[in-house]
Structure formats: structure tokens, C-alpha cells
A and B are shown apart, each in its own frame.
Chain A
């Protein structure tokens, strides 16, 4: 009997460890599942208005122009040199974005900012921010036919993690930052969608 005791103890110990491990194993992560909160149109719209202020700031809107010429500066003037979008958003002929814009910001003031993906949205998915009211921009962002085919979760991921979006908070010398931090901006995007993704009335 006593010779069986250690064996029973080991079995019990292994069972306890197994149960403990199982209890910590979470449900499978579903990246398509959106975090949701109770529907709250006022809270959702309030969050979007914070998002809107960022999207309309120069660092974001300058590459989402109403025309086919990118914008520059805090006054959103047309890009000097007459740069144009081109079909793929990467410029035309000898005037392609990456001819001047490098993978990183060039040092100094009035030098080309940079990112490996530097471009405008393509001609067939222009994703215009300039001139859009809060309602128009919210509806555009939520429409996969106008937002690059993104689901709400992909929209959140894009705003929170895309490195070209993130550039807005590391824009190089002499450029103002968007009015919220990137962390606060991402949180407001999530809140907007979690509370129902409501569009403002106007």
C-alpha cells in the first residue's frame, strides 16, 4: 500500500497542474470579433469628433486631398512642383513620391518627410478627407467600397498600427503634430466603433 503512495501523489499532482493550466487557457482569439459596448449614439459621435479633428489635421489630410495633387504644410497648400497622384497613388513619370521621399524623414527643416509606403490613396480609391463634413467622413470610413475594403476591425487596426498612419506622430522637423496623441486617437477610434459607429448628424 505504502509503495503506491508516491504514484498516487504524482498522479494527483499532474492532474492539479493540468486543471490549473486548462483554467488559464482562454477562448480562441477571434481577430474578427469587435469589442462592443452598449449602443450609445452620443458617446460614439463624441468619440468620432475627436477622430475627425485628427483626420482633418495637416499630417493626415495632406495626403487625402480633394484633388489629385497632394497638400503640404499646416496651411494645406498644393504640393510644390505640381506633383500628381497617378493611377497607383505613387506619382507620375519622373515625379514619383519615392524619388524624393525616402524610407525615413530627411534631416532638417523643409526636407522631404519619409516612410517606405509614402503615397496618396490610389486613383480608384481616393479616400478624400479634404472638404468632408464629419458625417460624410464617418460614412466614408465605414463603407468598405470607399475605405479600401476594410471591415470595422481592419479600420481600427489601420488607424492604430499602420506605419504610414503612425508617421503623423513622427513627422520630422518643423511639422506640427495632430491634436491628439496616437494612443488617444486609437482609443477614440475604438470607442467610436465599440459604441455603435454612429455618424454625426452633419
Chain B
């Protein structure tokens, strides 16, 4: 059994240590907000936080996450009220939506480390998250908006 802490909740999972964390999250814990995209860390759809870093869960063995702090899109905020989530709604960012949980998890790391990002900072942070619908302009707008909301006292 492997001990995991996901979204502030403790789990014991019966998994091989080399099982990808993504499989554990989706198939064993039922946290299906995180998506399978490419399976080889090329697209960013599977991005979750491991100790606050935006790791690609499709290539991360569950053994690396054992005893560590994992946050998925389901745990980004208590009531879907993270400034990014609010800005995403305001700008109607998603089209098909498949990549968006990964986009949000990457953007959250950016805003934590750089509360006032430029367009270049956004590109530097987000270029590993692919959106086949091409929602990039709205993602950029929403991140700027979330940064403003964060400064005005929204949750981060």
C-alpha cells in the first residue's frame, strides 16, 4: 500500500510503485479532473501540483509522490473560487475544455511565484500546456485578470 496526501485528504492505495501518478489519481481515486493527453510529458494536460510544483503526472511514478503533498484541479480551491477559476469563467476561456485543468494548474504556479506577470512571463510559464482549440489569447487575458484580482485581495 502506498500512502498519498491528495487535496488535503489521506489515502492508502494498492498500486505498484511504478504506476503513473495520473493513473492512481484517475483510476484509483476517481479524481478525473486531471486528463490524460500524450502520456509522455509533451502536452501538459495531466499537470498537477507536487509540493507546489506543476509536475506532469503521466510520467511521474506514484512512488515519487508517496508522502508528498499533491493538489489536483479538484483541490485548487474550496469553492472553485481561485482567482484563476473566476477569471476563466469571466473570459469564457475553455472551448472543448480538455486541456484546461492542466492550464489552470500551471497558471497557479506562475501567479504564486510572480504575482504580476508580463506576457513574456506567461509564455515562459504556459508554453508547456498545449491547447488544440487555440484558446491561448483568452488564457493570457484571464491570467492577467486573475493577477489583478489576486492583488485586490482575492484568494491565491
Contact = CB atoms under 8 A, between A and B. Distances in A.
Interface string B107-139: 101100110000001011111110000000000
B55 interface: yes
Interface stretch (A18-26, A108-116, A122-130): A108-116
A2 interface: no
B129 A94 contact: yes
B127 A95 contact: yes
A48 to B, nearest CB: 37
Interface in A67-126: 80-84, 92-96, 98-100, 102-103, 106, 108, 110-112
A93 B117 CA distance: 11
B42 interface: yes
Contacts of B56: 99-100
Contact of A84 (B64, B109, B113, B124): B124
A102 B124 contact: no
Nearest to A96: B53
Contacts of B40: 106, 108, 110-112
Contacts of A94: 47, 54, 105-107, 109-110, 125-126, 128-129
Contact of B55 (A80, A99, A110): A99
Chain B interface bracket (under 10, 10 to 19, 20 to 34, 35 or more): 20 to 34
B149 interface: no
Interface in B34-70: 40-42, 47, 53-56, 59-61, 64
Nearest to B60: A102
Contacts of A96: 53-54
A141 B140 CA distance: 42
A96 to B, nearest CB: 6
A93 B41 contact: no
Contacts of B64: 102-103
Nearest to B110: A93
Residue of A80, A83, A99, A103 with most partner-chain B CB within 10 A: A99
B41 A98 contact: no
A102 B59 contact: yes
B61 A81 contact: no
Nearest to A83: B128
Interface string B23-37: 000000000000000
B138 to A, nearest CB: 18
A92 to B, nearest CB: 5
Contacts of A80: 42
Contacts of A108: 40
Contacts of A110: 40, 42
A94 B113 CA distance: 10
A151 B46 CA distance: 44
Contacts of B47: 94, 99
Contacts of A93: 54, 106, 109-110, 113-114, 121, 124-125
Interface of B: 40-42, 47, 53-56, 59-61, 64, 105-107, 109-110, 113-114, 121, 123-129
Given A106-B41, A110-B42, 7 more contacts: A80-B42, A84-B124, A93-B114, A95-B127, A100-B55, A102-B64, A106-B40
Top 3 closest pairs, chain A to chain B, by CB: A94-B106, A93-B125, A94-B54
